Amino acid sequence: MNKNNKTQKRTIAVALSGGVDSACAAIDLIDEGYDVFAITMKIFENQDTSMAKFVAEKLNIKYYEIDLINEFKEKIIDTFINSYLEGYTPNPCLACNIHMKYGYLLKKAISLGASHLATGHYARIIFDSDYNTYHLKKSDNQKKDQTYNLYHLNQYQLSKLIFPLEKYRDKSEVKKRVSQYISELNNERDSTDICFVDKKKHSAYIKEKINYLPNGNFIDMAGNYLGKHKGIFYYTIGQKRNVLENTNKYYVYRIDKESNSIILTDNEEDLYYDLLLLKDVFYTNDENYSEKTFKVIAKICQWGYELPAQVKFISGSTYVKLLAPTRAPAPGQSCVFYINDEVIGGGIIQRAEKLKGNEEI
């Protein structure tokens, strides 16, 4: 690894997790001649950050561990629990990106002397010098593209971020690259769990944190009692398995927090919607999207279908009209807007509705 041929003078902070992706990002930047240091978030008490520190030591770079436990509890954990108790299906990893990684951590990296923060996400940032504008575009590696989780980035953040892994076509290439320097990471697997729930199901974690009996009633579309549920945070819109004991007939149609009830339907067609009301909407460039209506491709989950849609601004609210109904868009999840291969923004689904025929909003 060449740390002496410094063709660039910029100092880059790498958000080091202890996994192969962030380690590979650090290795590549060092070899490209940058001054590199590692920065890791300490976000909950029993978090093991030893591997991140070990990787930094192996690469002979400075290591900073940033205590964000209080901020993480307030912005992520408490919001996660409260959202489920309100009947939503939140995405805590995306919220962590918004508030923690590209909020607090980016700010800290800059204060420590970095010109940029590098992460292991798969995405492209393109700078248009003619318009002095940064564009967030899909990864060329479609199987690894993570732009869905980055729709909230603004122009300042995009100007300060680097995604070094974009050139890799397969995870095996990343592992091979890292194994040349840190063989201990050869068997590391990607984590798909919510980091702070300590390998529990989210429902078990939430039940530990509340101090009341959460059970309520299942009712059908006509309001008839069908049975007892364990707590609204166990369920999400569209769910079928493990909903009502001794039957495989019903789907979760709606979660009513006010009555602590879950409305079930035996008709899957009831789950298809073509109008979404969004909240907490972000745009990568606010100046470019001030029109009342524009066409996009929408995604309502990381690995979901791409859906032709229109974004409409009505009386200060943002609606997304899907040109074909989609199944079970869950309040609390994000709807992300694309034009061609570029992310232009997105927001949190607050409510899903049905339009009748060619009805306009």
Residues 16 and 62 in one domain: yes
Residue of 24, 96, 301, 335 marked catalytic: 96
Q: Using only the alpha carbons of the chain, give its radius of gyration.
A: 22
pLDDT tens for each residue of 150-194: 999 999 999 999 999 998 988 889 999 999 999 888 776 666 678
Of 226, 244, 266, the one marking the end of a domain is 266
Count the alpha carbons within 13 Å of 72 in the hemisphere toward its beta carbon.
21
Instruction: Select from 309, 313, 279 the least CA-distant residue to 296.
Output: 309
Alpha-carbon distance of 314 to 171, in angstroms, equals 44
Residues 34 and 109 in one domain: yes
Q: Let me know if residue 150 belongs to a domain.
A: no
Which range, of 1-5, 140-144, 155-159, averages the lowest pLDDT? 1-5
Residues 183 and 321 in one domain: no
Alpha-carbon separation of residue 261 from 69, 87, 214, 221, 225 (angstroms): 34, 10, 11, 12, 10
Alpha-carbon distance of 94 to 100, in angstroms, equals 10
Q: What are the two backbone dihedrals, phi and then psi, of residue 342, each rounded to the nearest 5 degrees? A: -105, 135
pLDDT of residue 107: 97
Residues 40 and 94 in one domain: yes
Residues 183 and 79 in one domain: yes
Say which DSSP state 151 is in. Answer: T
DSSP per residue over 90-131, as a string? --HHHHHIIIIIIIIIHHHHHHTT-SEEE-----EEEEETTT
Domain harbouring 239, CATH code: 2.30.30
Per the rule left: phi > 0, alpha: psi between -120 and 50, beta: everything else, 70 is alpha
Of 227, 242, 266, the one marking the end of a domain is 266
Residues 256 and 343 in one domain: no
> Which of 117 and 316 is assigned the larger pLDDT?
117
pLDDT tens for each residue of 208-239: 999 888 899 999 999 999 999 999 999 999 99
Q: Let me know if residue 138 belongs to a domain.
A: no
Q: Let me know if residue 342 belongs to a domain.
A: yes
Residue 93 annotated to the active site: no
Indicate whether this model's pTM tops 0.85.
yes
Residue 96 annotated to the active site: yes
Residues 116 and 227 in one domain: no
Instruction: Select from 62, 49, 57 the least CA-distant residue to 114.
Output: 62
Q: Does the pLDDT at position 22 exceed 90?
A: yes
Under 8 Å between Cβ of 91 and 137: no
Residues 173 and 289 in one domain: no
Going 49 to 52 to 57 to 60, the CA torsion angle's sign is negative
Domain harbouring 348, CATH code: 2.40.30.10
Chain-centre distance of CA 330, in angstroms? 14
Q: Mean pLDDT across the chain, nearest whole number?
A: 91
Residues 176 and 312 in one domain: no
Strand order in the sheet with 161-162: 63-67, 35-42, 11-15, 116-118, 161-162
Q: Let me know if residue 154 belongs to a domain.
A: no
Domain harbouring 170, CATH code: 3.40.50.620
Instruction: Select from 231, 249, 230 the least CA-distant residue to 240.
Output: 249
Q: Let me know if residue 238 belongs to a domain.
A: yes
Chain-centre distance of CA 269, in angstroms? 28
Residues 186 and 303 in one domain: no
Q: Let me know if residue 127 belongs to a domain.
A: no
Residue of 24, 93, 195, 301 marked catalytic: 195
Residues 231 and 337 in one domain: no
Mean pLDDT of the region 346-354: 95
For 251, the domain range is 214-266
pLDDT tens for each residue of 278-333: 999 999 998 766 667 899 999 998 877 899 999 999 888 999 999 999 999 999 99
Split into its structural domains, the chain has a count of 3
pLDDT of residue 324: 93
pLDDT tens for each residue of 70-106: 999 999 999 999 999 999 999 999 999 999 999 999 9
Instruction: Select from 56, 43, 14 the least CA-distant residue to 195.
Output: 43
Alpha-carbon distance of 31 to 34, in angstroms, equals 7
Q: What are the two backbone dihedrals, phi and then psi, of residue 53, each rounded to the nearest 5 degrees? A: -65, -40
Q: Let me know if residue 169 belongs to a domain.
A: yes
Residues 184 and 246 in one domain: no
Q: Let me know if residue 203 belongs to a domain.
A: no
